[in-house]
Structure 1
């Protein structure tokens, strides 16, 4: 087993071995991001150097950043992120300490506010001390700092036989420059600058003797960047904050918005929208949602595609950016190390030292079996949403190359299969990529090549969509071939994956064609693409909604009677909000909309318990009265496809589709979330027009209508 596999089995293992006292509750950590830089700290604003830190280009450039007052840690009053995710603020107070002169200062006399932001690869912090006692106080404020310049994969648990060289720190009057030269001969720096000259300054600590008269305040500014800052001060901090907020506001303006009659529900929707905006990075090819913080703050193929699908009805521009980036990085050669083959779509890209040296294959890695058909499906769904044939034409060579790879990967079994080409790659290459996430009912790990059930569904959708686009391009021969291929896949899945005694689809077929007779949420993805016949879809839906899968908070990834079921595992019984949302969209496709409303309600209530932010995953324990959902120790938070789940679930409830070819809004048997009587979709772009669409509860029915005043004429078709 490789180290990578061990981390996928349980990402908590590597971190737990480093520091048992470290914070491991993601909903109690706070993340900031801009571009390819992000910071994760605890509620005190401290960085402790386990999974947290300030990272730039997949390298940790600040591994410790701790505040003490009077030689002691502080007492936490409260911490929060601004609604737009730009500013982190924590409010602290002193524990009982002594002044510099030895006079006791009681607890709660000094208020300390830390405000932090990231802008253009630079971390800005403002520290404000306010004295609410009746005495003048002189106290020691200390900041302890370090930069270990560890690659992200080292932070995640990988070990290296050799590292680069840490240079001697350069200490100035009010600055410290930390340097590291990697084995790749790239120098990485962390420059720490203070607004006032410390009374004592070393390579690892700055001490300030601060006199705070009664009822007064003192402010200190700190900056951490690649270069020494001009003296940090109030105007620099304010200017950076203003630019960061303006940039975030511009990102949040893209696409339609939702507003409901529920105040708390609106808070969730606004936080989800802000998280998608936070994780979206403007690349040369357009906006791209990075997967999640801290472990996956980079472009992932699968995550980017699914996030774009979740947001497609509201913001098709995100899909256009994802498609552009993935087309640009499509594989053109065969490489076992990177698992690439011509036409294959990228799984992951990284910028750190270890990938630059090819110690790991993830600099540009293609070991995702589902990313290529999902990419094609997104392109087809984008075309249906927008009618944008110009973009389709530009992507057409890439889409044809992807289709050719799918055909090649389907030989000789007729199904798209995977088997890693090198030991350094991922053993499992679907979205459940833990080493034990694919198994037989008796616990045997199947030998490859493996055909996952949901992947065949994505292939079915890809060929269906391509056939439609080919007809629009007057490429009749290709259209007919792809239509035939889609139907062949549908029939083969129905005949070879359906397990009559289970009344369910197998998780996978192994290299001998033996089905893995395990009930998983993967089958729900078949409903999403519309592959099963209605009778089987209803049987699958009934099981997904049973107590074996449905916890009350969401859908488990694995039925609770499976041999490897563990509600605390990464993939074998936990709850992934994006997975629940995809299954819910599948239920809605087959008209099972009332149950979608219940799934929406459970997901919303989970978000409330997680401070309005859905983590990457959480534990799959059955909901009990008065109890909250249980966090998974090292889940990413925020995570793009978890945030996007709110919008996929909402679309499934509303039964809303937009036909970009006819410029028509179609609403089928709409439902509103529990407790919501009114919902407005504002600035919905349809065929060049911008409309406001209102859903209103009237008795036990929900009506939909367009606002009287909108830009352009858009047909609305409502089916009850």
Structure 2
């Protein structure tokens, strides 16, 4: 999911565009803040320049330009950072040589300028502090440029509209400016920029101040951007910041926490956990991890399910929230425009003007072929992790409707495969996780005809049938349990017979509408290992090739082998590296006892994260790693991205070999391994039923031992198999 594929989602004939002003600049050097459905993306200076950045509220950009100038020039950048909890962004700047209105000169580098910013309840708060280190008073001409274009997120991503609503003239007040826009959806949207000081000059798109700062003194200017006018002040800034930090602290404390003997490794896990907390939005149905900033800061079905699966062993409440939300919006009708059918689980939801007007189908869109089986699989996995039969009982009708949709689609072909073919031209051309228009192809690079059966989707379907069989048996319904067990084995046999490429000892990427294999080696086959579909012999072959130089770049698993015709390490899906994809492959390798390979993959991901300032982006380029090189960023990747952040914990679980049996209320650990360079790890406050315990892993010689530490509540059996 990226800006560059959006045009191709709407029109698959559109070629891969080059970067333009609609794309953000160097996302790994940009900084994002978020609270609920409001977020801001700005550069290291704290500036918003009006390309892919901005302040967004409900999928609308409400601040498209916001820049600070000192003496008519950009200040000099000293550094920028996010606080460890992801609440505060701070840019440290200093002045260049300036001349005041009275002709007085200020030498460069004598004034420290600190911009501190956060988001709280649909409002951006900022404090700009000027500290004078010179021997005399300085007079600083300070100017803020600003604008609000009220562009829909899809416009920011590059979609062209034939007409827009009415933008009113900016209203200029004594200490602020109000921008108003009346959309074609008859919704009035407003953005107010207010300052704590009265500007010396204020105009519709800029405000000017003459800031006098005594020697070795400081002065602070406060500003706010929100829907309504407020008077910014130090007290308001501090109070809102305290509430924001307290709320984030509560989110980060949900579930178990992980600590290790490695300081840098801990930094990665801390940042990763903070990113997941940042992206998690508290909806009426419970917590939901939004996909990623900036392009996908909303509830996505597939992304939410996979993020919940990654965090399930540590925080089951995330899975519960995802399941409850998706069940509420499960389709009950057929809609060509929305790609909806009864029982199908939602792919994406949006709140912007274009979605409300149905200029695009993404208001509530169901064009994801894998979301429904993944939803069922998550429900089974949650029940297995927690033993929460009461919740499953409440979900049962929804799960039966979802599995009913899968069976209905499977009945349309002799193999029972769940396939896709978009219902309307406005929908997604490809509907698996690799959803760009050129992601599914034959060995010669030609685009196949639908309906398409993706290999990993059939694995999810297999797992969903298996899970439903277990749940039905626990409910005492032997007939349904037997039926779904039979369906699972039917899918397994069909996948082994139809997708296997004997000449390449690998599974094909897909089968097209004519029954032909898309005979290419892609990372999708690794997802079959995750659900345990392949035989042991075939799993060994897949594992060997996933770790070979063709698929493993040295930083992670490529989406496509480098000897396939369409391979391009700079592409979105055809040779790049997606951390969540690598993590799923690693979890699959662990399922087949390839623990050494898991440690290798986790080491690669950790080393990549270090070079990305402790944050794994949505994806990065698939160039082969060389000594001394750093991974190469993909230019318009989301950062942070929920399932990229969650990858760290999915790989860690795969290394440690942990499985929690919620029904038996016990912890199972099988052949544990520790990441390279880590001698011990402790999982604190791990919930097992009503009990909470600490679980310790310690390297002893060439072995890893596991034992229970402090028991906070109750007793839990620990079963360790070496």
Q: Indicate the residue corresponding to 2:589 in structure 1.
A: 587
* In structure 1, distance between residues paired with 2:12 and 2:611: 26
- How does 1:91-490 map onto structure 2 within 5 Å? 91-229=92-230, 231-413=231-413, 414-490=416-492
Report Cα offsets for 1:163-217 as digits up to 9, x if no partner: 0000111111102110000111100000111101000001100100111111111
Distance 1:51 1:251, change over 3 A: same
Does residue 30 (structure 1) correspond to residue 31 (structure 2)? The answer is: yes
Other structure's SS at 2:570 match: coil
Q: Is the 8 A contact 1:654 1:671 kept in 2?
A: yes
Q: Indicate the residue corresponding to 1:498 in structure 2.
A: 500
* In structure 2, distance between residues paired with 1:10 and 1:258: 47
* In structure 1, distance between residues paired with 2:151 and 2:35: 20
What is the CA distance between 1:687 and its match in structure 2? 1.5
Other structure's SS at 1:707 match: strand
Among candidates 665, 668, 676, match of residue 666 of structure 1: 668
Q: Is the 8 A contact 2:62 2:150 kept in 1?
A: yes
Q: Indicate the residue corresponding to 1:71 in structure 2.
A: 72
Give TM-score, length-normalised by structure 1. 0.98
Distance 1:482 1:23, change over 3 A: closer
Q: Is the 8 A contact 2:281 2:288 kept in 1?
A: yes
What is the CA distance between 1:712 and its match in structure 2? 1.0
* In structure 1, distance between residues paired with 2:93 and 2:386: 50
- How does 1:666-705 map onto structure 2 within 5 Å? 666-705=668-707
* In structure 2, distance between residues paired with 1:589 and 1:172: 64
What is the CA distance between 1:573 and its match in structure 2? 0.3
Report Cα offsets for 1:471-496 as digits up to 9, x if no partner: 11011111110000000000000000
Q: Indicate the residue corresponding to 2:565 in structure 1.
A: 563
Q: Is the 8 A contact 1:67 1:144 kept in 2?
A: yes
Report Cα offsets for 1:239-280 as digits up to 9, x if no partner: 000000000000111000000000000000000000000000
What is the CA distance between 1:411 and its match in structure 2? 2.4
Q: Is the 8 A contact 1:576 1:616 kept in 2?
A: yes
What is the CA distance between 1:100 and its match in structure 2? 2.3
Report Cα offsets for 1:457-483 as digits up to 9, x if no partner: 000000000000001101111111000
Q: Indicate the residue corresponding to 2:528 in structure 1.
A: 526
Q: Is the 8 A contact 2:5 2:437 kept in 1?
A: no
What is the CA distance between 1:333 and its match in structure 2? 0.4
Q: Indicate the residue corresponding to 2:21 in structure 1.
A: 18
Report Cα offsets for 1:20-46 as digits up to 9, x if no partner: xx8621110000000100000000000
Q: Is the 8 A contact 1:568 1:619 kept in 2?
A: yes
Among candidates 626, 642, 651, match of residue 653 of structure 2: 651
Q: Indicate the residue corresponding to 1:62 in structure 2.
A: 63
**Ranges in structure 2 where 5+ consecutive residues have no aligned partner:** none
* In structure 1, distance between residues paired with 2:124 and 2:271: 22
Q: Is the 8 A contact 2:259 2:683 kept in 1?
A: yes
Report Cα offsets for 1:507-547 as digits up to 9, x if no partner: 00000000000000000000000000000000010000000
Other structure's SS at 1:428 match: coil
Q: Is the 8 A contact 1:43 1:78 kept in 2?
A: yes
* In structure 2, distance between residues paired with 1:17 and 1:379: 42
Distance 1:286 1:2, change over 3 A: closer
What is the CA distance between 1:4 and its match in structure 2? 2.9
Report Cα offsets for 1:271-330 as digits up to 9, x if no partner: 000000000000000000000000000000000000000000000000000000000000
Q: Is the 8 A contact 1:11 1:156 kept in 2?
A: no
Report Cα offsets for 1:561-588 as digits up to 9, x if no partner: 1111000000000000000000000000
What is the CA distance between 1:7 and its match in structure 2? 8.3
Q: Is the 8 A contact 1:9 1:570 kept in 2?
A: no
* In structure 1, distance between residues paired with 2:85 and 2:659: 29
Q: Is the 8 A contact 1:331 1:342 kept in 2?
A: yes
Worse-matched range after superposition: 96-105 or 525-534: 96-105
* In structure 2, distance between residues paired with 1:18 and 1:208: 30
Distance 1:2 1:38, change over 3 A: closer
Q: Is the 8 A contact 1:574 1:619 kept in 2?
A: yes
Other structure's SS at 1:254 match: coil
Q: Is the 8 A contact 1:7 1:14 kept in 2?
A: no
Q: Is the 8 A contact 1:14 1:156 kept in 2?
A: no
What is the CA distance between 1:129 and its match in structure 2? 0.5
Distance 1:128 1:7, change over 3 A: farther
* In structure 2, distance between residues paired with 1:298 and 1:549: 31
Report Cα offsets for 1:370-423 as digits up to 9, x if no partner: 000000000000000000000000000000000000011112221000000000
What is the CA distance between 1:135 and its match in structure 2? 2.2
What is the CA distance between 1:14 and its match in structure 2? 5.8
* In structure 2, distance between residues paired with 1:378 and 1:156: 31
Distance 1:12 1:109, change over 3 A: farther
* In structure 1, distance between residues paired with 2:677 and 2:148: 49
Q: Is the 8 A contact 2:10 2:428 kept in 1?
A: no
Q: Is the 8 A contact 1:577 1:614 kept in 2?
A: yes
Q: Is the 8 A contact 2:531 2:588 kept in 1?
A: yes
Q: Indicate the residue corresponding to 1:619 in structure 2.
A: 621
Worse-matched range after superposition: 701-710 or 219-228: 701-710
* In structure 2, distance between residues paired with 1:16 and 1:494: 41
What is the CA distance between 1:335 and its match in structure 2? 0.3
Q: Is the 8 A contact 1:12 1:633 kept in 2?
A: no
Give TM-score, length-normalised by structure 2. 0.98
Q: Is the 8 A contact 1:14 1:157 kept in 2?
A: no
Does residue 39 (structure 1) correspond to residue 40 (structure 2)? The answer is: yes
Q: Is the 8 A contact 1:2 1:423 kept in 2?
A: no
* In structure 2, distance between residues paired with 1:75 and 1:218: 19
What is the CA distance between 1:8 and its match in structure 2? 9.8
Q: Is the 8 A contact 1:15 1:51 kept in 2?
A: no
